[in-house]
């Protein structure tokens, strides 16, 4: 349906709205810093408008927002119409009606000319530096002025201002299209379709060189109360706020009303809304600690109507808002928006916590706070010795306390891991036993073993830790050092024994530490002496022994005289000595045996030959005789010949067989008469010598001679019981 405006109305409008030209200030107005536009919730909205057509003979066409100026920060669209071509396209400025320069920048965004008519549209965004409000007297009215390069004879201007347009011109300006045509019949004026973003302003204008009927585009709002016309020109301006998609305003010129037909021009352009705020379009999700928050957080710059401002490409920065655990946000936290949306694809937080929030900020739009989300622990996967076992002394607590942590796959301790952790010996070079509390329930994911100890020394011990469902851990190597020996202990006490016979079982003495453990490494000799000596006896045998694995074994101790309550004393350098339990030595039983023999021994006193025949069943005194001869080097031969045998005893030979000891008096070299003790041991096999297990013989004569019980080099001893 066409709208028709009479020439009288158009002339009146032009007379009122066209202002005198020429009063311009060369000084540019001071620009205020850009402010973040906080538009009404409706997004882009028409604020002020004005316009007019009329004949002129000037190079200037101008129009004021009479009586009410636009809102500061709004966008102004000014379309100039004129007879002529775009060769004289105007330069556009603004000033107050009183001539005060304002200085906003108007940029040509669309122009079209055909058949000696032309139309050009200029846009200024974020207009500033003029007073807001209504000015009935007119002097502070903002005037938009176009100065052509040549005088024009007829033309006009349509100005309109809009709130909610992106204040940054480059972001604000969308696509534009223009077209022209000629018709003699009702003709559709179509500038062409352009894509628009959601919430964008679609602005369309048309003009014709015929004042004929006109229908306006559907779903658009006509500016300035309707089409403008004078005697030769007719124009129309429309606007609408679009959903995302495309726009294609179309007018129908009824050129059939003029027999000449007519030429039409049409332009359409889009202005994007201002991003007013940021919005988390993809909220941060609950995520395990240290893991990338997925799906990627996305933040959009939106206008007040909730439309994403696709032209917004500024950086958006993410920081932690609520930080319940003092976590640190990692990843790329500043991202340039693409089509108005910034995607944060690798954000992560290093500490567990509930109720984290993110804050998104940008230079202009208001920031946004995300919905709360949680950072949850990663599941424990394995154990780690967070405090390794240290070297320690055998039996002493390993200090500091060994600690084992349950960790996730990223090496973080899993504080809520509550299953028991058990520790045991792994490598066990000393054959030790692990003592202490070996199974512990972790606290905050860490099990502390405060009283572990190992009872045996060794180098290169390892502990192993295990918990159900987790990969176990093996500790570093550590050493258990022996406790120093402090004292001696009879581990095998001396038993009651027969005088002259070996104390059996063998007496054993151990070097022990303060905890009573045998110190295997102790290697100093241990010596046994008689302590309590009720019989005035003499201790014989090997009385000094080097311990083996800390224990000295005295296998051939004997005491030669009977008595009750003997004790032994064991001593070693730097150790506390030990006294044995008391034991008794009894006199040996009289031997009910005969013994005879003869042969040779080589004791230290010299080559010795001997012979004897003693009947232990015959006395005392006993029947028998004995002769011993020895010759040491160049010394003269010494002869020992028994006179009286008054004692004969027998005892088992520790080497096997039996020993017979007889005592009595003997004459030495046919002169001295002394006491003697002789012993002959029969191994049960005849024929002593290197080829056989030897019998033994020995004799001691008080005060002078002692061969010791010596292996026979030849001869034989025979005991008959």
Which residues form the interface with another protein (CB under 8 A)? 594, 596-600, 607, 609-613, 624-627, 629, 631, 634, 636-637, 639, 641, 670, 685-691, 712-716, 718, 720
Residue with Cβ nearer another protein (505 or 684): 684
Residue with Cβ nearer another protein (34 or 687): 687
Phi-psi bin for 708: left (phi > 0), alpha (psi -120 to 50), beta? left
505 upstream amide cis, omega within 30 of 0: yes
Q: Burial, 659: exposed, middle or buried (Cβ in 10 Å; 0-12, 13-18, 19+)?
A: buried
Residue with Cβ nearer another protein (348 or 716): 716
Please state the closest distance from residue 631 (CB atom) to another protein, in A: 5
CB 613 within 8 A of CB 624: yes
3-state secondary structure of 509: strand
Residue with Cβ nearer another protein (166 or 711): 711
Going from the C-alpha of 275 to that of each of 36, 49, 248, 611, the distances in angstroms are: 9, 24, 25, 132
Residue with Cβ nearer another protein (298 or 688): 688
Please state the closest distance from residue 622 (CB atom) to another protein, in A: 13
Please state the closest distance from residue 594 (CB atom) to another protein, in A: 7
CB 57 within 8 A of CB 164: no
Residue with Cβ nearer another protein (354 or 592): 592
- Count, residues in the chain: 721
Residue with Cβ nearer another protein (144 or 614): 614
Residue with Cβ nearer another protein (122 or 610): 610
Please state the closest distance from residue 702 (CB atom) to another protein, in A: 22
Please state the closest distance from residue 590 (CB atom) to another protein, in A: 19
Please state the closest distance from residue 606 (CB atom) to another protein, in A: 9
DSSP element (H, E) containing 316: strand 315-320
Residue with Cβ nearer another protein (162 or 610): 610
Helices (H) and strands (E) in the chain, counts: 2, 62
Give me Rg for the CA atoms of the chain: 62
- Which residues have CB under 8 Å from 349's CB, separation 6+? 287, 289, 290, 293, 320, 327, 328, 329, 330, 356, 375
Q: What is the DSSP string of 124-188?
A: E-S--SS--SB-TT-TT-EEEEEEEEEEEEEEEEEEEEEESB-SSHHHHEEEEEEEEEEESSEEE
Please state the closest distance from residue 659 (CB atom) to another protein, in A: 17
Going from the C-alpha of 248 to that of each of 1, 175, 208, 217, 310, the distances in angstroms are: 18, 12, 18, 9, 20
| Distance from C-alpha of 70 to C-alpha of 310, rounded to nearest angstrom | 26
| Distance from C-alpha of 366 to C-alpha of 360, rounded to nearest angstrom | 9
CB 344 within 8 A of CB 335: yes
CB 396 within 8 A of CB 352: no
Residue with Cβ nearer another protein (469 or 686): 686
List the beta bridge partners of residue 159: 50, 78
Nearest CA among 380, 371, 376 for reference residue 354: 376
Residue with Cβ nearer another protein (233 or 593): 593
Residue with Cβ nearer another protein (558 or 688): 688
**What does the H/E/C string look like for 173-221?**
EEEEEEEEEEECCEEEECCCCEEECCCCEEEEEEEECCCCCEECCCCCE
Residue with Cβ nearer another protein (573 or 670): 670
Please state the closest distance from residue 641 (CB atom) to another protein, in A: 8
Nearest CA among 598, 716, 610 for reference residue 657: 716
Residue with Cβ nearer another protein (148 or 612): 612
Please state the closest distance from residue 634 (CB atom) to another protein, in A: 7
CB 597 within 8 A of CB 697: yes
List the beta bridge partners of residue 711: 696
Residue with Cβ nearer another protein (439 or 721): 721
How far the first Cα of the chain sits from its last, in Å, is 157
Residue with Cβ nearer another protein (184 or 623): 623
Please state the closest distance from residue 647 (CB atom) to another protein, in A: 18
Please state the closest distance from residue 716 (CB atom) to another protein, in A: 5
**What does the H/E/C string look like for 31-48?**
CCCCCCCCCCCCCCEEEE
| Distance from C-alpha of 595 to C-alpha of 721, rounded to nearest angstrom | 9
Q: How are beta strands 91-96 and 186-189 bridged, if at all? A: unpaired
């Amino acid at each position: 349906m066409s709208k028709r405006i009479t020439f009288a109305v158009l002339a009146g409008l032009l007379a009122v709205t066209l202002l005198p030209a020429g009063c311009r200030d060369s000084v540019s107005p001071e620009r205020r810093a850009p402010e973040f536009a906080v538009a009404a919730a409706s997004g882009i909205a028409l604020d002020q408008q004005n316009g007019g057509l009329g004949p002129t003979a000037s190079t200037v066409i101008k129009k004021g927002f009479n009586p009410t100026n636009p809102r500061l920060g709004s966008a102004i669209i000014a379309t100039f119409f004129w007879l002529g071509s775009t060769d004289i396209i105007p330069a556009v400025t603004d000033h107050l009606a009183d001539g005060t320069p304002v200085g906003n920048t108007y940029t040509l965004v669309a122009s079209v000319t055909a058949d000696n008519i032309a139309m050009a549209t200029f846009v200024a965004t974020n207009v500033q530096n003029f007073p807001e409000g209504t000015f009935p007297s007119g002097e502070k009215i903002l005037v938009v002025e176009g100065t052509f390069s040549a005088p024009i004879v007829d033309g006009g201007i349509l100005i309109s201002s809009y709130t909610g347009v992106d204040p940054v011109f480059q972001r604000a300006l969308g696509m534009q299209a223009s077209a022209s045509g000629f018709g003699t019949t009702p003709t559709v004026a179509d500038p062409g379709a352009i894509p628009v973003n959601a919430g964008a302003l679609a602005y369309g204008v048309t003009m014709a060189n015929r004042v004929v009927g006109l229908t306006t585009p559907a779903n658009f709002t006509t500016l300035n109360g309707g089409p403008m016309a004078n005697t030769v020109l007719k124009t129309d301006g429309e606007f609408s706020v679009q959903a995302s998609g495309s726009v294609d305003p179309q007018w129908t010129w009824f050129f059939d009303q003029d027999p000449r037909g007519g030429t039409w021009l049409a332009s359409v352009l889009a202005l994007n809304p201002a991003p007013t705020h940021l919005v988390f379009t993809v909220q941060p999700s609950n995520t395990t600690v240290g893991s990338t928050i997925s799906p990627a957080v996305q933040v959009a710059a939106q206008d007040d109507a909730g439309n994403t401002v696709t032209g917004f490409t500024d950086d958006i920065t993410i920081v932690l808002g609520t930080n319940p655990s003092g976590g640190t946000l990692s990843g790329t936290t500043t991202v340039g928006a693409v089509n108005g949306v910034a995607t944060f694809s690798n954000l992560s937080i290093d500490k567990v916590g509930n109720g984290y929030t993110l804050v998104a900020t940008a230079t202009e739009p208001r920031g946004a706070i995300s919905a709360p989300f949680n950072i949850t622990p990663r599941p424990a996967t394995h154990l780690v010795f967070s405090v390794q076992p240290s070297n320690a002394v055998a039996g002493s607590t390993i200090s500091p306390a060994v600690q084992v942590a349950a960790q996730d796959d990223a090496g973080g301790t899993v504080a809520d891991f509550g299953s028991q952790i058990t520790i045991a010996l792994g490598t066990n070079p000393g054959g030790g036993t692990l003592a202490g509390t070996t199974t512990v329930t972790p606290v905050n994911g860490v099990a502390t073993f405060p009283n572990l100890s190992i009872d045996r020394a060794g180098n290169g011990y390892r502990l192993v830790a295990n918990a159900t469902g987790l990969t176990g851990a093996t500790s570093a190597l550590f050493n258990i050092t022996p406790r120093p020996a402090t004292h001696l202990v009879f581990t095998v006490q001396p038993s009651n024994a027969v005088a002259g016979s070996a104390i059996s079982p063998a007496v054993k003495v151990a070097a022990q530490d303060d905890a009573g453990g045998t110190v295997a490494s102790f290697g100093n000799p241990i010596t046994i002496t008689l302590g309590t000596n009720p019989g005035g006896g003499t201790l014989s045998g090997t009385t000094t022994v080097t311990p083996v694995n800390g224990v000295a074994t005295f296998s051939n101790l004997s005491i030669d005289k009977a008595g009750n309550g003997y004790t032994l004393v064991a001593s070693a350098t730097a150790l506390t000595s030990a006294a044995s339990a008391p034991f008794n030595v009894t006199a040996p039983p009289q031997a009910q045996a005969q013994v005879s023999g003869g042969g040779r021994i080589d004791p230290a006193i010299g080559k010795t030959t001997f012979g004897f025949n003693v009947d232990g069943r015959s006395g005392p005194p006993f029947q028998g005789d004995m002769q011993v001869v020895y010759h040491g080097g160049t010394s003269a031969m010494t002869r020992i010949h028994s006179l009286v045998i008054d004692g004969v005893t027998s005892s088992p030979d520790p080497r096997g067989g039996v020993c017979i000891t007889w005592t009595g008096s003997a004459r030495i070299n046919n002169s001295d008469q002394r006491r003697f003790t002789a012993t002959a041991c029969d191994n049960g096999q005849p024929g002593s010598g290197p080829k056989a297990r030897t019998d033994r013989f020995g004799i001691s004569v008080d005060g002078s001679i002692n061969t010791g019980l010596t292996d026979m080099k030849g001869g034989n001893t025979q005991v008959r019981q």
